[in-house]
Amino acid sequence: MLKQVRQRKPSATGGHFAIVASRYNDRYVTALLRGAQTELRQAQATARVVRVPGAYEIPVVAKALARRAGAQLDGIICLGVILRGETAHAAHIGEAVSTALMQIQLEHEMPVIHEVLLLENVDQARKRCLDPRHNRGREAAQTALAMAAVMRSLRNDLPI
């Protein structure tokens, strides 16, 4: 059963984020992007948006942002929609993107929120992207805000 995104007051507020969003399957990704931006605005956070051609291009931009702007960013939100086709191509892209985003997150010790969805069909895309009750962009922003707060607390709690 698909979990609804909770409508709630953000537990963490503020911060500076980057959103890397694919243009491929634009209708769905733009809906994810709007959901993420709305959630961040409600939390009084700012976001720089970078659009890329497809999901496969998201990691290289996320890495460049983490390397160049890491000190100014509280996290990077990655948004994309991959729809399965008749071949294994979508699965290969999904796996490569997942692995790369995890490596960037660990290497730069920065939250990299993975909301590059590998979906079976258009019905799943409509539900997870266009339906406000299930918009995974909103959920990604909530996760980014929460992780930024966790990382800030670790920096503040650790002895220098």
- What angle, 0 to 180 degrees and rounded to 10, lies between the N-to-C axes of helices 89-108 and 58-69? 10
Residues 6+ away with beta carbon under 8 Å from 46:
15, 16, 17, 40
**152: how many CB neighbours lie within 10 A of its CB?**
14
Catalytic residues, by residue number, are: 89
Which SS3 state, helix, strand or coil, does residue 60 take? Answer: helix
Q: Are residues 141 and 41 in contact, defined by beta-carbon separation less than 8 angstroms?
A: no
Other Cβ atoms less than 10 A from the Cβ of 127: the count is: 15
Report strand pairing: 46-52 vs 75-83.
unpaired
